[in-house]
Amino acid sequence: MATKVAQKRLQKEYLAMQKSPPPFVWASPEEKNILDWHFIIRGPPDTPYEGGEFHGLIWFPSDYPFKPPDVKFFTPSGRFEIGHKICMSMTSYHPSTWNAAWSVATILTGLLSFMLSNEITAGGVKTTDEEKRILARQSHAYNLKSKKFRDVFPDYATPEMTDLPDMGVPPASTRLFDLHQPLKRILLLFHLLLFFERKIPYKREQSNERSGVLLGTGSLAGAG
């Protein structure tokens, strides 16, 4: 069961996700358990995952944000084993590197960036780019067979794949900086999230009011 701190923090992050989701990702908690968040990652253009739709789960500890979550995928991608925890710096594999300021948006943007890399890790698999492309083409049909996917994402469980709120097309005003290239935009957003969230004074207070700053007040993910 989530602590009051975890519940308030995750409620705030859900509102932030609805208001200003990162490109190529979407997530929402289960109705009966706010600690379990299902997500969709869409494969960016000009990558082996282009056109793919990858369903996964982030599950948070009851004392989030003091401890990191874990992540796994349900949709085959050719990058990660399905149903296995993924080793990355933002998961329980590396608790010493966890930052309480990191949000759902940070985690998912970091996960997408990690997915596009070739780094070998626990929970990862090695396949060719062509194999990844084949799995990407099959991904939506695969997801439609999953009752959990249909229950959690009814708006996306349609015969034809539905776009996420942000499919990586920036406003015209940003194109001057060549940010329309999806991979560049993902990496830039990820580093910006890390930079700004590290500036937030998250402290562990021992009093009953220690949770005040841990609710994400002023964070980039919640500022929207």
Show which residues are catalytic: 87
**Helices 4-19 & 104-115, crossing angle to 10 degrees?**
60
